Structure 1
């Protein structure tokens, strides 16, 4: 081996040893590591399945509740976005639902197996149990309650008198419950309320909250068609950026 051949070989060996290895996608790994699936009992003992998305080891400050026929999968992207904004959140499966984004509603499956009711109002106790669970976990800090469609109305009903709730965000609430007048029931709100919906639902939503003191309510009306429920925050929804802008402004105001 000549002197020049030896030098060339050493250079190749040195460069191979110092070539950086392919780096993992830390953003993806961090998203996955932030999510943890748990169960805890509802008020009647039914196991509730929930996903917790942590941000910087902060306390859970937002509870996310899904719409009819869905599961906690409604929030798989929304929850991640909220962690990027600095919030730790929990999304639950209520017993009234089914599946979305290939995520089955385990609470519904457990309720059906036990022969328990799975109506909208049956799910109210699941949301209340989740509030109590978070309140205990975060050492008595009040939380923001987020609802979508029927759970938006439940969120408004629960939040009006629940001292553990500091504010409510309701995506497409309505008069969904027989024998309960939501408009009248929420008229005494003295805490911040954010409501929004699709454009064609905006008038009915406006009527629903017209008894709430305007000092406490924020009603975002999209300029585009929009969509029903918290899917308004999905990237597949036209104008989702405007929904997020208004929602984020509300979140900032109630920190």
Structure 2
């Protein structure tokens, strides 16, 4: 019976979505590459941003599972990144070719463009943004400054990764929407000040019983504690 249930879950995840790679422009003209994972019949959306040195490939395993939770997903290549899971960061390559800066802070415009693109193209009934490592800080900055039209934010291993060590905390002090923060066990000190600054009455955090993992990869099935993280994510999404 357990084997049958596993096969059914695999079938469900594989056949409730379709994937295509798309491009759209940032305000400085750079083409942003992203993978659109469509959840059939859904008007809910999650935009997924990757961690440092990586690409949209961080979400190859995660996005289909979010589709199964009835969310369309857009996994974005930011200009600050590299490659992971066999997926090269095309936005980073384009930015370098055009002589653009590719530091963490430079990727904020890619978040802005991605969110604007989804709003204008898909008109989602519910829109959630999600970041990993440095981008998990940038999504908190975004919702602190531009909360309109965003229903929730998930932040995996945020911190003050920028020259201004209050860059994120200052913006977080204006967040009013539902917030979820998680990380490895030993990373809480990196984001506790940010979390404390958030005035939202709908903020939540999760720490695993194990040592856990950095960023969104905590949800990858290769890690024995991934189910703990997934349950926390699902519980948060149900509150939005």
TM-score normalised by structure 2 residue count: 0.90
Identify the residue that residue 11 of structure 1 maps to in structure 2: none
Identify the residue that residue 23 of structure 2 maps to in structure 1: 39
Specify which of 94, 107, 127 is matched with residue 123 of structure 1: 107
Specify which of 137, 140, 144 is matched with residue 128 of structure 2: 144
Specify which of 141, 160, 180 is matched with residue 175 of structure 1: 160
User: Alpha-carbon deviation of 1:206?
Assistant: 2.1
1:216 to 2:205 alignment: no
Identify the residue that residue 195 of structure 1 maps to in structure 2: 181
Identify the residue that residue 116 of structure 2 maps to in structure 1: 132
CA separation of 1:244 and 1:133: change in aligned 2, threshold 3 A: same
Distance in 2 between residues matched to 1:137 and 1:60, nearest whole Å:
13
CA separation of 1:37 and 1:57: change in aligned 2, threshold 3 A: farther
Aligned length: 229
Distance in 1 between residues matched to 2:109 and 2:149, nearest whole Å:
15
1:185 to 2:182 alignment: no
Identify the residue that residue 53 of structure 1 maps to in structure 2: 37
1:97 to 2:81 alignment: yes
Distance in 2 between residues matched to 1:209 and 1:86, nearest whole Å:
28
Distance in 2 between residues matched to 1:29 and 1:190, nearest whole Å:
36
Distance in 2 between residues matched to 1:165 and 1:232, nearest whole Å:
24
Give 5+ residue unaligned stretches, structure 1: 1-24
Secondary structure at 1:36 match in 2: strand
Secondary structure at 1:54 match in 2: strand
Distance in 1 between residues matched to 2:182 and 2:123, nearest whole Å:
31
Secondary structure at 1:170 match in 2: strand
Distance in 2 between residues matched to 1:138 and 1:223, nearest whole Å:
38
Q: Is the 8 A contact 1:62 1:87 kept in 2?
A: yes
TM-score normalised by structure 1 residue count: 0.85
Identify the residue that residue 165 of structure 1 maps to in structure 2: 150
User: Alpha-carbon deviation of 1:165?
Assistant: 1.6
Distance in 2 between residues matched to 1:26 and 1:134, nearest whole Å:
28
User: Alpha-carbon deviation of 1:29?
Assistant: 6.4
1:250 to 2:236 alignment: yes
CA separation of 1:187 and 1:204: change in aligned 2, threshold 3 A: same
Distance in 2 between residues matched to 1:29 and 1:85, nearest whole Å:
13
Secondary structure at 2:24 match in 1: strand
